[in-house]
């Protein structure tokens, strides 16, 4: 209370008051005289600078306004909660429903009803850096990589553990986008990355089977259905969900390049590719001069819980 009174007194002095007192101590503006000109053994006289110091040093700090929802200090429950208060697409902090800890995610608030958190985002890069981004080992399957933004390569595998609804989005080279599949799962095996009780709500069947409902592989882990081959190792060491093998790849081509026998499916490392059947189904453009598997601008997977 004394601190509050000092702050009020300081404001009064700043507005032009000649003096004010708090608990027997008289305060005057900087350079002012004692308020009543009394003798030196009267109440102590302090100037406004001392008042400010006293307000800072005396007692606990006064709490300000609470942080906005979606910050690390005040994480939202979900991206859907943020959408409900008008938050646009972007990076926010939400609570992990398992332990309440704060987790930074990218929230997609416009597509398919909004309220989605981004799990994976593969973006075409002419400099050939996208393929390398997706060549991580099995040990990194639940980690977070990259920057949470719509135009950046990004992976947040830990969201598979809490996700229940999923959406895959494809953006072609002309910038046209389509929701290629909407799916659900009751959970995931964190070791094999196999989704539990997968169901397709809508979208392309081949994409659902190969990139959601089957298995997962990386360069050092074979969990797909294409025995005896490892889809991840065969197709440029890209770590992702596979069946036998893919309707889309986050980093590899499948039209072989005989001139590059050491990396026949790398396609200069530019990144995401989609089978023409998926593109045709949603009216998306194929790569000019490409084969059955076309470069696209972006492939993204989102989840809700």
- Identify whether residues 132 and 276 lie together within a single domain: yes
| Long-range interactions of 96-99: CB distance < 8 A, separation 24+ | 96/162, 97/162, 97/305, 98/161, 98/162
Structural domain contains residue 300: yes
CA 290 to chain centre: 32
Mean pLDDT of 30-42: 43
pLDDT for res 66: 79
Tell me, yes or no, whether 135 and 24 share the same domain. no
The CA distances from residue 182 to 76, 124, 304, in Å, are: 24, 23, 11
Same domain, 197 and 297: yes
Span 32-52, mean pLDDT? 41
Both 243 and 123 in a single domain?
yes
29 and 124 both lie in a single domain: no
In a domain, 108, yes or no: no
Look at residue 57 and tell me whether its pLDDT is greater than 60.
no
User: Do 49 and 132 fall into the same domain?
Assistant: no
Which of helix, strand or coil describes residue 10? helix
Q: Which domain holds residue 23?
A: 2-57
The model's confidence at residue 21, banded by pLDDT at 50, 70 and 90, is low
Q: Is residue 226 part of a domain?
A: yes
Identify the pLDDT of residue 9: 52
Q: 22: exposed, middle or buried (C-beta count within 10 Å: 0-12, 13-18, 19+)? A: buried
269 and 131 share a domain? Answer: yes
Number of domains composing the chain: 2
> Residue 257 — very low, low, confident or very high, per pLDDT cuts 50/70/90?
confident
| Token pair for 259 | 């001139």
Claim to verify: residue 264 and residue 169 sit in the same structural domain: yes
CB 299 within 8 A of CB 250: yes
Instruction: Tell me what pLDDT residue 36 has.
Output: 43
40, 178: one domain: no
Mean pLDDT confidence for 261-268: 91
pLDDT by residue (tens digit) across 123-170?
999 999 999 999 999 999 999 999 999 999 999 999 999 999 999 999
Quick one: how far is CA 160 from the chain centroid? Answer: 13
Q: Check residues 154 and 42 and name the one with the higher pLDDT.
A: 154
- Structural domain contains residue 62: no
Q: Is the pLDDT of residue 258 over 90?
A: no
Report yes or no on 278 lying in a domain.
Answer: yes
Query: Strand 177-184 vs strand 240-242: parallel, antiparallel, or unpaired?
Result: unpaired
Question: Same structural domain for residues 171 and 37?
Answer: no
Report the alpha-carbon angle 161-107-142, nearest 5: 25
User: What's residue 254's pLDDT?
Assistant: 97
User: Which range is least confidently modeled, 54-63, 146-155, 264-273?
Assistant: 54-63
Nearest Cα residue to 44 out of 53, 34, 52, 54: 34
* C-alpha torsion sign, points 196, 199, 203, 208: positive
Distance between CA atoms of residues 281 and 283, nearest Å: 6
Inter-residue contact 25 to 34 (CB < 8 Å) = no
Domain boundary among 57, 75, 98: 57
* 298 and 210 part of one domain: yes
- Which of helix, strand or coil describes residue 195? strand
In a domain, 238, yes or no: yes
Q: Is residue 148 part of a domain?
A: no
In a shared domain, residues 36 and 185? no
45 membership: H or E segment, kind and range: strand 45-47
Confidence (pLDDT) at 245: 98
């Amino acid at each position: 209370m004394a601190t509050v009174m000092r702050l009020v007194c300081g404001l009064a002095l700043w507005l032009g008051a000649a003096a004010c007192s708090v608990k027997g101590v008289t305060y005057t503006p900087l350079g002012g005289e004692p308020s009543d000109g009394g003798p030196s053994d009267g109440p102590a006289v302090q100037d406004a600078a001392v008042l400010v110091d006293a307000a800072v040093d005396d007692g606990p700090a006064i709490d300000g306004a609470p942080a906005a929802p979606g910050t690390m200090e005040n994480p939202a429950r979900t991206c859907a909660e943020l959408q409900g208060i008008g938050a646009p697409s972007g990076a926010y902090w939400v609570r992990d429903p398992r332990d309440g800890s704060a987790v930074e995610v990218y929230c997609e608030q416009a597509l398919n009803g909004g309220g989605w958190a981004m799990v994976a985002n593969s973006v075409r890069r002419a400099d050939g850096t996208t393929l390398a981004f997706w060549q991580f080992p099995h040990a990194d399957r639940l980690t977070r990589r990259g920057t949470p933004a719509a135009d950046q390569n990004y992976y947040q595998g830990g969201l598979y553990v809490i996700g229940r609804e999923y959406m895959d989005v494809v953006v072609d080279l002309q910038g046209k986008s389509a929701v290629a599949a909407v799916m659900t799962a009751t959970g995931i095996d964190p070791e094999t990355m196999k989704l539990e009780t997968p169901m397709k709500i809508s979208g392309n069947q081949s994409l659902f089977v190969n990139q959601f409902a089957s298995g997962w592989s990386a360069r050092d882990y074979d969990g797909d259905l294409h025995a005896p081959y490892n889809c991840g190792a065969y197709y440029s060491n890209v770590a992702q969900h596979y069946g036998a093998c893919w309707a889309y790849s986050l980093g590899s081509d499948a039209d072989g390049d005989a001139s590059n026998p050491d990396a026949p499916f790398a396609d200069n490392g530019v990144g995401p590719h989609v089978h023409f059947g998926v593109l045709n189904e949603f009216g998306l453009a194929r790569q000019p001069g490409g084969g059955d598997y076309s470069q696209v601008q972006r492939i993204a997977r989102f989840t809700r819980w």
